[in-house]
Chains A and B, each alone.
Chain A
Amino acid sequence: MSVENTIGKARSKWMEGTGPDNDVVISSRLRLARNIEGYPFPHFMSEEEANHVINAVRLAVSEKAGAKFPVETEFIDLNELSQTERQILVEKHLVSPQHIESPANRAVVIAHDESLSIMVNEEDHIRIQCFLPGLQIKEAWRLADKIDDVLEKTLNYSFCEKRGYLTSCPTNVGTGLRASVMLHLPCLVMTKQLGAMVNTISQLGLAVRGYYGEGTEAYGDLFQVSNQVTMGQTEDEIVTNLLTVTRQIVSQERSTRKVVLKNNKPFLEDRIYRAFGVMSYARVMTAQEAIKNVSDLRLGVELGILKTPAYDQINELIILTRPAFLIKKAGRPLNAGELDALRAEIIREKLSKININ
């Protein structure tokens, strides 16, 4: 296993498509923000201090320091990767877009199954991120908690009794914990019920936003729900709150699916088979169109109208057709038109191997 492997393959653990409630919940993600005592926060650090932090984390995750992770990991200096390779890490959600804006003095630790990544010198010195398929926020918290304990054996965290883990931005202070779930909600969108739900959810200290796309427009009916408050609640309380609300949304989406399927089956079948038809024959496809069609294909499987492809193949299609992945595959820079053509080609090729009936 090497960096090359992470960048070369589209699959990560979270894309396996398994896990509880996988007909609605695509993945669960949880991150902990931590800082090391005695250093300014990354945005206010000298180059030398940034290097100290990188070396300290490199030591903390190495077996020499006795670090025993439940998963095997690799330490990657962002400067050693090309811009396209760094972009692929973003497309796979292993690092944030902000992390690669200035790659100097920044690093990432990635588990081989990609269920864990640790960003070094992003907004905080350390950001532990766990990423699992389906509704597994509690499991993600357990994993992150363990990793946090391993790092704390070597590193002195900035911690104060009153304010908890101190972070660069006051919105993360306390537990430093941000948990989120990625949800596929085509039927709540179709029946225009989501708007009212978003209002209720935000009153419970949670935020809802579209996963792809900006503002109110969410391509592919993919949404992210996450906690806003990080202080004054225990980690278990935050996780349980998100879990409870997510279960409610899941059951709403499921019952809406049943109703829509009963009343509008021909309309739904048409939408799903059209997506399949376009994906099987299109010659040019934008990223936005691809996500929309993949979402419709997924809906077909969720409703039992299509028997295949499996969820893991669907998740892989989204990542495979992101711009940096396409450029990596082509092995040269592509303009917008070339990107759209290669995207269509890859989707056709993948779908030709799938027998939907």
Chain B
Amino acid sequence: MLCEKCQKRPAAVHMTKIVNGNKTETHLCEVCAQVDNSVSFGLDPKWMLQSIFAELFNTPHTENDPSSDAGVKPNRCEKCGFTDAQFSQVGRLGCPTCYDVFENKLDPVLRRIHGNPRHTGKIPKRTGGTIELRREIEELKRELQAAITSEEYEKAAEVRDKIRGLENKLG
């Protein structure tokens, strides 16, 4: 029997699908079967990602980071009941609180994916509160340090006053 798709190579993968009592048969060669979505060889890219997560999540981190005490940390989110075992299975977290609960295990994963595991982007306008202000102060403090290092004292004084002004706003 020849492959249904290419009509060139002999059919090697025979699949019978029954959906709501309707039976369909497919006969493909190995090459076409790999291209065909309906015939899976267990190489689902999503599955691969999840298993990589699981691996990272469960790897003990012996480097000098605080996650070495991960063993005593809870493995269940008190808010939604999600467990770290479930994360390893589905590659997703249960709720926003999970990010805090599983922090020690999650941070190395985030570092692997994103490099820098700290958000520097947009802040929600209404609920972001004073984050924007604090971020600005941090930025100015870096500027101040740079001005002092390069002995630009006039500029340093200016920046210092700006920081004071913003800190007053914070209250």
Q: Could you list which residues of chain A lie within 8 angstroms of chain B, going by C-beta atoms?
A: 35, 37, 39-41, 43-44, 123, 145, 148-149, 152-153, 156-166, 168-171, 173-175, 177, 213-215, 217, 228-235
Q: Does more than half of chain B's interface fall in helix, strand or loop, or is it mixed?
A: loop
B49 to chain A, nearest CB (A): 8
User: Can you list 13 residue pairs at the A/B interface with Cβ under 8 Å?
Assistant: A35-B96, A39-B95, A148-B122, A152-B126, A152-B127, A159-B124, A168-B93, A173-B99, A175-B119, A177-B121, A231-B117, A231-B118, A232-B114
List of A residues within 8 angstroms of B90 by Cβ:
43
A292 to chain B, nearest CB (A): 14
- The verdict on A232 contacting B94 (CB below 8 Å), with A163-B99, A170-B110, A170-B113 known, is no
Contact B114 A37 (CB under 8 A): no
List of B residues within 8 angstroms of A43 by Cβ:
90, 92
Contact A44 B95 (CB under 8 A): yes
Q: Could you list which residues of chain B lie within 8 angstroms of chain A, going by C-beta atoms?
A: 34-35, 37, 49, 53, 80, 82, 90-96, 99, 106, 109-110, 113-128, 131, 134
B124 to chain A, nearest CB (A): 5
Q: Which of B35, B91, B94, B120 has the most CB of A within 10 A?
A: B120
11 more A-B residue pairs beyond the given contacts A35-B96, A165-B119, with a C-beta to C-beta distance below 8 A? A152-B127, A157-B124, A160-B99, A161-B134, A163-B99, A163-B110, A163-B117, A163-B119, A170-B110, A175-B122, A213-B35
Q: Looking at the complex, which one of B49, B93, B114, B119 makes contact with A161 (CB distance below 8 Å)?
A: B119
Q: Which residue of B lies closest to A123 (CB)?
A: B92
A24 to chain B, nearest CB (A): 26
List of A residues within 8 angstroms of B124 by Cβ:
152, 157, 159
Contact B119 A174 (CB under 8 A): yes
Contact A44 B82 (CB under 8 A): yes
* In the bound complex, CA of A233 to CA of B114 (Å): 9
* In the bound complex, CA of A164 to CA of B123 (Å): 7
Q: Looking at the complex, which one of A152, A171, A234 makes contact with B120 (CB distance below 8 Å)?
A: A234
Q: Which residue of B lies closest to A166 (CB)?
A: B96
A347 to chain B, nearest CB (A): 21
Contact A232 B95 (CB under 8 A): no
Contact A152 B125 (CB under 8 A): yes
* In the bound complex, CA of A229 to CA of B120 (Å): 13
A337 to chain B, nearest CB (A): 12
Contact A232 B122 (CB under 8 A): no
* In the bound complex, CA of A174 to CA of B49 (Å): 19
List of B residues within 8 angstroms of A165 by Cβ:
119, 122
Contact B120 A232 (CB under 8 A): yes
* In the bound complex, CA of A22 to CA of B1 (Å): 46
* In the bound complex, CA of A229 to CA of B126 (Å): 26
* In the bound complex, CA of A228 to CA of B124 (Å): 22
B162 to chain A, nearest CB (A): 21
A121 to chain B, nearest CB (A): 14
Contact A44 B110 (CB under 8 A): no
Contact B119 A231 (CB under 8 A): yes
List of A residues within 8 angstroms of B80 by Cβ:
40, 44
Q: Which of B49, B92, B122, B134 has the most CB of A within 10 A?
A: B122
* In the bound complex, CA of A41 to CA of B97 (Å): 10
List of B residues within 8 angstroms of A235 by Cβ:
121-122
List of A residues within 8 angstroms of B96 by Cβ:
35, 37, 158, 160, 166
Contact B35 A173 (CB under 8 A): no
Contact B110 A229 (CB under 8 A): no
* In the bound complex, CA of A205 to CA of B124 (Å): 26
A161 to chain B, nearest CB (A): 5
* In the bound complex, CA of A171 to CA of B95 (Å): 15
Going nearest first, the 4 A-B pairs with the smallest beta carbon separation are A232-B116, A164-B119, A158-B96, A231-B114
Q: Which of A157, A171, A177, A213 has the most CB of B within 10 A?
A: A171
- The verdict on A214 contacting B37 (CB below 8 Å), with A40-B94, A159-B127 known, is yes
List of A residues within 8 angstroms of B115 by Cβ:
229, 232
Contact A162 B119 (CB under 8 A): yes
List of B residues within 8 angstroms of A161 by Cβ:
119, 131, 134
* In the bound complex, CA of A187 to CA of B128 (Å): 48
List of B residues within 8 angstroms of A217 by Cβ:
35
* In the bound complex, CA of A179 to CA of B127 (Å): 25
Contact A233 B120 (CB under 8 A): yes
Q: Which residue of A lies closest to B115 (CB)?
A: A232
* In the bound complex, CA of A148 to CA of B121 (Å): 14
* In the bound complex, CA of A233 to CA of B116 (Å): 8
- The verdict on A174 contacting B114 (CB below 8 Å), with A44-B80, A149-B125, A231-B119 known, is yes
